[in-house]
Amino acid sequence: MSTRSQKVSFIIPTNRHEVDWLIRALRLDFPHAKFIIVDDGKGLKKDKSLNISIVRHQTNLGLAISLLDGYKKALSTKPDYIVRIDADKEYPINPIKSIIPQLEKSDQYSGAYVETKRSFESSGVVDGLFHTIFGYIEGLVLLNHPMHQHSPGLHIYKINTVKNFLPKLKPFIEKNHLRWGLDLVTLTLAQESGQVLQHTAKNPNWKERRPILKIISQAKHATKIMAVIRKHNFNEGLSIDPESSF
């Protein structure tokens, strides 16, 4: 079945990146798609010609809350698929149109994620090692297979998958004071609805070298998220112990 016949809603969180280019590019393959932009406190200007919905935060609340609000809004548009994607050009968008037909073929699939392999050339030694090592660990701990990238940020979910995991996200965010890392949680919870497809893409034009302190902070936070998920056994449903904390 062609992706043009599928109802797709895109969630694009941003607090500094322009989104117009991404919307125009996605509309070439998804002309009838809905677009939900979550503006996390930066006052994004709306291009009326693009016919998009904007969820605005008056202050910066973090990526976790942005995604939560985005999933809520996307669910209200009643699509067949919800796609969460960033506007920073890290992820190639071409795989989306080939992944949706794969998901459509079988009820065993709940969704998919797209990851990009990091290299020392694209990310530097420290950042490259971080993504390689933590992607491998996160994948084994949360998905039972290694990933090539830490916390990939392009997800495609069937509508029922989002309906199932959405009620579990807010209490997890609030209890654990989550500002980012929700992608690891949704990938884990998506497995309750079926198999999550892994798609590894190349993006030779992407380069990122983050400060060492940010890498250390993300490594600590990712470790905490994995520990909490494992402790509460998400695959049997969320059950937060009120006495537990980071």
Q: In the chain, at which residue ranges do the beta strands (DSSP E only) sit?
A: 8-14, 34-40, 53-57, 81-84, 109-116, 154-158, 195-201
Q: What is the CATH number of domain 3-236?
A: 3.90.550.10
Classify 202 as helix, strand or coil. coil
Residue-wise pLDDT for 78-130, tens only, equals: 999 999 999 989 999 999 999 999 999 999 999 999 999 877 777 788 888 99
Q: In terms of C-beta distances under 8 Å and separation of at least 24 residues, what long-range contacts does 167-171 make, across chains too?
A: 168/234, 168/237, 168/238, 169/68, 169/71, 170/68, 171/238, 171/240
Q: Which helix (H) or strand (E) holds 211?
A: none
CA atoms within 13 A on the CB side of 111: 29
Residue type at 160?
Answer: N
- Residue 99 phi, psi (nearest 5): -75, -40
Greater confidence (1 vs 171) lies with 171
Burial class (CB in 10 A: 0-12, 13-18, 19+), 181: buried
Residue-wise pLDDT for 18-76, tens only, equals: 899 999 999 999 999 999 999 987 767 666 667 788 998 888 899 999 999 999 999 99
**DSSP single-letter state for residue 151:** S
Residue 235 confidence class, pLDDT cut points 50, 70, 90? very low
Residue type at 137?
Answer: I
- Closest by CA to 78, choosing from 162, 182, 1, is 162
Domain spans, the chain: 3-236
**Residue 48 CB partners (closer than 8 Å, separation 6+):** none
Residue-wise pLDDT for 143-161, tens only, equals: 999 999 999 999 999 999 9
Q: How far apart are CA 81 and CA 104, in angstroms?
A: 10
Q: Which helix (H) or strand (E) holds 163?
A: helix 159-176
What pLDDT is stored for residue 46 in this prediction?
64
What pLDDT is stored for residue 118 in this prediction?
79
